[in-house]
Structure 1
Amino acid sequence: MNFVDYLELNRRSNPDQIAIRTETNTWTYEELVRDVRRFANVLQSDGISSESHVAVMLPNTYEFAVALFGSLARNQLTGLIDPRSKRGELETLITQMDPAAIVTTAENADSVREIDQSISVYCTEAGDGVGQDFWEQTEAASAEFRVPETLGEEEALMLHTSGSTGQPKAVVHTHGSFIAVSDLATISYELHSDTTHLAALPLYHCWGLMNLGATLKIGGEIVLMNRWNPEEAMERIDEYGIDFFSGVPAMYKDLMASPQSDQWQPTSLEVAITGGARVPSELIPDAEALLECPVFNGWGMTETFAAGVWEEPSQERRIPSVGTSSDRLFEVKVIDQEDGSELPSGEAGELLVRGDAVMKRYLGQPSETSDVFSGEWLRTGDIARIDQDGYVYLQDREKYMIITGGENIYPQEVEDVIEELDGVRNAVVVAKPDERKGEKPVAFVERTDQSELTEAEIKSHCLDQLAAFKHPRTVTFIDDPPRNSVGKIQRTALEEEIVD
């Protein structure tokens, strides 16, 4: 099936149910499907072949949903691009995705045209003078459209990697994988047609997109946040009775650090999910105390459509495990990185995953695709161990490992120790070149407000808790660490500061 078929089903069964809400407006399933059909007809009447690619470069807006599903309704291979992309990254992604049409804001339209004048640009703001007016075209189009028969294995989406560890790639997923991860979230967290989800994560990111799919597929309501703000999130949770929330650890930290957190008493939340970055062990119980609902951890990547391993309400919790793989969708194993043999429970090695929502390929990069697959198994580059009951414990990314004098250091272990200290909001440990030992660990630390924690205190604590070779040789305090679109601190940007 095509994902849009589920929107059509919801339109027929509950047309007046609110599908999407913003700060200023609401749209029902009847209205959403009407606009999706209209935009599909716009693409068709403008001569955009169904074999061509379409890109959507928008923040969390209603137009994002209309453009995405309108394109998918025609079986277009549809790329999602971060609207905050810098010129160099945007040029790379447009070259990779090769879209015949792109839906974007006036702010980005000029950049798109400068990169490739042959692209049909649809602007979501009227009167900008660049490209076609998205709404003028859409509202004038017919609302009569029939979604063609779609096979699950047909390619549907191009999702770009964050670029936090290198050049961005366009990860190709199928209609089947989009539907499968939406179903997995719905079943795992018992979502239903009365579910109201606060979409604080970017919809152009795989995790935000999965939550969008899960909520709309089941006939629930999405409340869009265009920009993250903890106080606004609290207000919307209370005002709209939000019962489903997802956020990276930084978002939960922001909520807990908000001056309003002491007086905030949410009553509607039923389930919250975190992941997308390292989750300190103490964060989950602290977040649960604030939100007054269970907060579940998980692991995924763009190549697995944000899913892979996660905690579920029906499972025993084993902190700091990220949970188990879902037999409904994924299998996982750990292998020896040297000989590729599967390791027994309890031993650490590279985590591999296979299943229905694993990516099909990297667009236009066959050798890179071949490099990350071992048969049907995707090599994740994450170091993990799996206990005898199938619980997965992440250690770190293979590429982040620091080797000093022949000794291996996993930055996450050092970061966890630093974040035990009062006054630390975030810690990132990276490698610095060293003439004698090859590399040495150095730390970047974001302190909480009013914290007077010193470099000496952090080093002393690490020496007390870790082997001496693991302690950071220097500590640099940073007030505003560089982050990507989902709030993850960009490790490579900090590494570049060392080189500079």
Structure 2
Amino acid sequence: MSLKPWLDLYPPEIAKTLQYEKIPIQEYLTKTASRFPNKIAIHFLGKEIPYKEFYESALKLANYLRSIGINKGDRVAIMLPNCPQSAIAYFGILYAGGIVVQTNPLYTERELAYQMVDSGAKAIISLDILFPRISKIVKETELENIIIAGLKDYLPFPKNFIYSFIQKKEHGVTVKVEHRGMNHLFTEIMNSSKPHPVHYAFNYDEDIALLQYTGGTTGSPKGVMLTHKNLISNVRMCDEWLYKCKAGEETIMGVLPFFHVYGMTTVLVFSVMQGNKMVLIPKFDMETTLKAIDKQKPTLFPGAPTIYIGLLNHPDIAKYDLSSIKACLSGSAPLPVEIQEKFEKVTGGKLVEGYGLTETSPVTHVNFPWAEERVKGSIGVPWPDTDCCILGPESSDPLPNGEIGEIAVKGPQVMKGYWNRSEETEQAFRDGWFLTGDLGYMDDKGYFYIVDRKKDVIIAGGFNIYPREIEEVLYEHKAIQECVVAGVPDSYRGETVKAFIVLKDGATVSEEELDQYCRDRLAAFKVPRIYEFRKELPKTAIGKILRRTLVEEEKQNLEQNLLTS
């Protein structure tokens, strides 16, 4: 065990160890609906839903899910942007005893089919405009039921009236689904189902609440098993850290998508735990977000660096009042110091960087939001009941302060394991320490710093992007002989995706053709932004392509360009 020097840094308001309620995560909604029945839970583009309605809607969905055969432990996918139905679906599935499978609405048919097959999901809750995509892959999966929601269903008048016209203009078609057979309409469920409590046996330590997919360079995306204990502990830690926030009095900006574990914990579950209002935005847009901040006066704003950068660079930012913001937690990518300082100056609130992984529910480290001393470049210190150390390549003994090694963590928020992947689960731990794959060090005070990623995961705009998945798609192209994908520096996204390609003799293909090819097979955020054609790629003596060599070349080229510009 480490000596935990960071505990000496804790302000008196933050306890060093916490008590946790051994309840299912959905019990937070039950309690909050009883405590704040008329408090607004969700604000969605002008529509407001109080906690009592939110709670009853989740129970209605739970009863309907049970009626169509969803039992304890069954997986139910949510493929929705941030909207009332996504919040209702999350808690409705849990009330039914199911396991939530969060799915990115941007996924292509190929990506969606893989996740549905791997998770064994029996049902999926999604948008009407995504129904054609789901229909094409149903036969490949174990899906038995499709529940379809429409964004217009929770829009106020006249937005709900004109939405269909906007939808047809943007997507070229208006999708209509009938409520029969395996297809179900969310609105019909809300009209016909009853809000009765659902009872089932519960195990706090073992029951899985969420399958959150992540990946890596070692293979296809993996389902991270997060238990009720994992999620309860992490949101309780968040509550302790934000000690100036008062239950039932905060408003949280819901820009981070719920299908990302960061948004799910710090916006959705934290809001429900405290009885806060969530201001949901289905797709990040700078002007929409600025208007929402100006009108709804959020006090908390979890985000990623690209979100803050985008807002700061909006030409009309001075027109909007952002002074309501008290605290922002930044994650998913490194936070530039200049962005932190500029955003704090504009809002008057505090913006601090944190760190975590899908496997840790997700947060393990954060800086102190209201500390007088600011530590630049650090991811902060571990949360209560979270232990952390720096390990060498083989040993389980922590390295001395200042030495670089792999960041390893322990805590109640660390995952149960990877879904149906016992061998990979075993490889992720060493003597009880979860190995993050990130390289860093701890200073003498107890602050931690990220130096590099051991894994080759690309983090662009807050999204985790896995090179091997893109490479597999590129290798399927008839003109490509060799390829490697890497993250290269990008001033806005942090990193962007670049593909280095060697063509087969006599073959030709343009960047435009490759771009369209990838867009047909990958979600938009995974598609390479840059293509470089080479005669050969750097390799080891045994023929392994040296990805890191290419990344270092890109960094050197960038530095050289900065020196000469």
Q: TM-score range by the shorter chain?
A: 0.7 to 0.9
Q: Distance in 1 between the 2:195 and 2:499 partners?
A: 56
Q: Distance in 1 between the 2:137 and 2:434 partners?
A: 33
Which residue of the partner structure matches residue 406 of structure 2?
350
Summarize deviations over 1:140-191 as a string: whole Å, max 9, x none.
0111224545332211100112779963211110111111111122221133
Alignment of 1:29-428 (within 5 A): 29-117=51-139, 118-125=143-150, 127-129=176-178, 131-148=183-200, 150-153=202-205, 154-161=207-214, 167-190=220-243, 191-192=245-246, 193-211=248-266, 212-313=268-369, 315=371, 316-326=373-383, 328-400=384-456, 415=489, 426=494
Contact 1:317/1:323, CA 8 A, preserved across alignment: no
Q: Distance in 1 between the 2:76 and 2:499 partners?
A: 40
Q: Give the match's secondary structure for 1:3.
A: coil
Summarize deviations over 1:243-279 as a string: whole Å, max 9, x none.
1001111111101110112343422111111120122
Q: Give the match's secondary structure for 1:38.
A: helix
Call closer, same or farther: CA 1:286–1:247 in 2, change over 3 Å: same
Q: Distance in 1 between the 2:64 and 2:389 partners?
A: 46
Q: Distance in 1 between the 2:278 and 2:337 partners?
A: 29
Q: Give the match's secondary structure for 2:45.
A: coil
Q: Distance in 1 between the 2:188 and 2:34 partners?
A: 26
Contact 1:196/1:244, CA 8 A, preserved across alignment: yes
Q: Give the match's secondary structure for 2:252.
A: strand
- Structure 1 window deviating more from structure 2 (380-389 vs 85-94): it is 85-94
Q: Distance in 2 between the 1:120 and 1:460 partners?
A: 55
Q: Distance in 1 between the 2:403 and 2:563 partners?
A: 25
Q: Give the match's secondary structure for 1:268.
A: coil
Contact 2:350/2:370, CA 8 A, preserved across alignment: no
Call closer, same or farther: CA 1:17–1:312 in 2, change over 3 Å: same
Identity across matched positions, percent:
25
Contact 1:161/1:168, CA 8 A, preserved across alignment: yes
Deviation of the 1:116 alpha carbon? 2.9
Determine which of 459, 475, 480 is the counterpart of 2:560: 459
Call closer, same or farther: CA 1:459–1:144 in 2, change over 3 Å: same
Call closer, same or farther: CA 1:12–1:372 in 2, change over 3 Å: same
Q: Give the match's secondary structure for 1:296.
A: strand
Call closer, same or farther: CA 1:133–1:164 in 2, change over 3 Å: farther
- Structure 1 window deviating more from structure 2 (126-135 vs 167-176): it is 126-135
What RMSD in Å do the two structures reach over aligned CA positions? 2.8
Q: Distance in 2 between the 1:456 and 1:89 partners?
A: 34
Q: Distance in 1 between the 2:367 and 2:318 partners?
A: 28
Q: Give the match's secondary structure for 1:210.
A: helix
Q: Distance in 1 between the 2:36 and 2:408 partners?
A: 41
Which residue of the partner structure matches residue 5 of structure 1?
27
Instruction: Give the residue type in structure 1 aligned to 2:42.
Output: I
Deviation of the 1:345 alpha carbon? 0.7
Q: Give the match's secondary structure for 1:234.
A: helix
Contact 1:42/1:138, CA 8 A, preserved across alignment: no
Instruction: Give the residue type in structure 2 aligned to 1:459.
Output: Q
Summarize deviations over 1:74-113 as a string: whole Å, max 9, x none.
2212211111111221111111111111111123333333
Summarize deviations over 1:199-254 as a string: whole Å, max 9, x none.
00001110100121111111111110001011211111110111100111111110
Q: Distance in 2 between the 1:179 and 1:36 partners?
A: 19
Instruction: Give the residue type in structure 2 aligned to 1:67.
Output: A
TM-score (norm 1): 0.81
Contact 2:44/2:280, CA 8 A, preserved across alignment: yes
Q: Give the match's secondary structure for 1:35.
A: helix
Q: Distance in 1 between the 2:539 and 2:431 partners?
A: 40
Number of equivalences? 438
Q: Distance in 1 between the 2:377 and 2:390 partners?
A: 18
Which residue of the partner structure matches residue 496 of structure 1?
none
Q: Give the match's secondary structure for 2:125.
A: strand
Provide structure 2 residue ranges, at least 5 long, that are not aligned to the other structure.
Answer: 1-22, 154-175, 458-485, 501-536
Q: Distance in 2 between the 1:394 and 1:103 partners?
A: 37
Q: Distance in 2 between the 1:59 and 1:440 partners?
A: 35
Q: Distance in 2 between the 1:427 and 1:56 partners?
A: 28
Q: Distance in 2 between the 1:33 and 1:436 partners?
A: 58
Call closer, same or farther: CA 1:108–1:162 in 2, change over 3 Å: farther
Deviation of the 1:340 alpha carbon? 4.5
Instruction: Give the residue type in structure 2 aligned to 1:398.
Output: K
Provide structure 1 residue ranges, at least 5 long, that are not aligned to the other structure.
Answer: 402-410, 446-454, 465-500
TM-score (norm 2): 0.72
Between 1 and 2, higher relative CO (CA 8 Å, sep ≥ 6) is seen in: 2
Contact 1:429/1:442, CA 8 A, preserved across alignment: no
Summarize deviations over 1:276-311 as a string: whole Å, max 9, x none.
012222221122112221101001111111201111
Summarize deviations over 1:393-450 as a string: whole Å, max 9, x none.
001101349xxxxxxxxx99x95xx96xxxx8756598973369953446779xxxxx
